[in-house]
Amino acid sequence: MQKLLISSCLMGKPVRYNATSVSFDLSKLKSHFTLVPFCPEVSAGLPTPRPPAEITHSNITHAIIVKQNDGLDVTNAFEQGAKLALAHCQTHHIKFALLTEFSPSCGSTQIYDGTFKGIKQRGQGITAKLLSKHGVKVFNQFQVNDLIELAKKDKDHFSAHY
């Protein structure tokens, strides 16, 4: 069975910034994947709970910066968490990831805009972007059916060629 890196909060672990998880039905996934939970923020040493963080951009360099709502720059921790997630995927030969949408780490199509006003915008979190850049197919909790279909095709393609 293929392995799937999955956000720990989607597996019911209270690792989100406010020490909660995301309510999510895992039954479909369990019949297609071996689930491998991972939280980039916690793996990088950020505490739970912690202040909420959002991606902002520097006006001068256009570099990605992650700040908490108290102003603390936590970019290095988020980058470290992304690198640890990538290393985990590479070590365990994981080609698919299911990450929590809107997160500054895990958002795959949308993230919050950096104003802490609940406004979403197109974009990727730091972990989602790094995994995608290195060939891991990243999905969010609203794309489970797409993930399963792609995994089935990938399995069929692999079986036909080996």
Instruction: Give me the mean pLDDT over the 129-150 stretch.
Output: 96
Say what the pLDDT of residue 161 is: 40
Give residue 62's pLDDT. 65
Q: Are 96 and 88 in contact (CB under 8 A)?
A: no
Tell me: pLDDT of 25 over 50: yes
Amino acid making up residue 64: I
Q: What domain range is 90 assigned to?
A: 2-161
Cβ atoms within 10 Å, residue 1: 11
What would the pLDDT profile of 49-100 be if each residue is shown by its tens digit? 999 999 997 666 668 899 999 999 999 999 999 999 999 999 999 999 999 9
User: What average pLDDT does the structure give for the chain?
Assistant: 92
How many distinct structural domains can be found in the chain?
1
Do strands 2-7 and 53-57 pair parallel, antiparallel, or not at all (unpaired)?
unpaired
Residue 151, pLDDT above cutoff 90: no
Query: How high is the pLDDT of residue 160?
Result: 43
Helix (H, G, I), strand (E, B) or coil at 36: strand
Q: How crowded is the C-beta side of 141, counted as CA atoms within 13 Å?
A: 20
Q: How far is Cα 45 from Cα 17, in angstroms, rounded to an integer?
A: 12
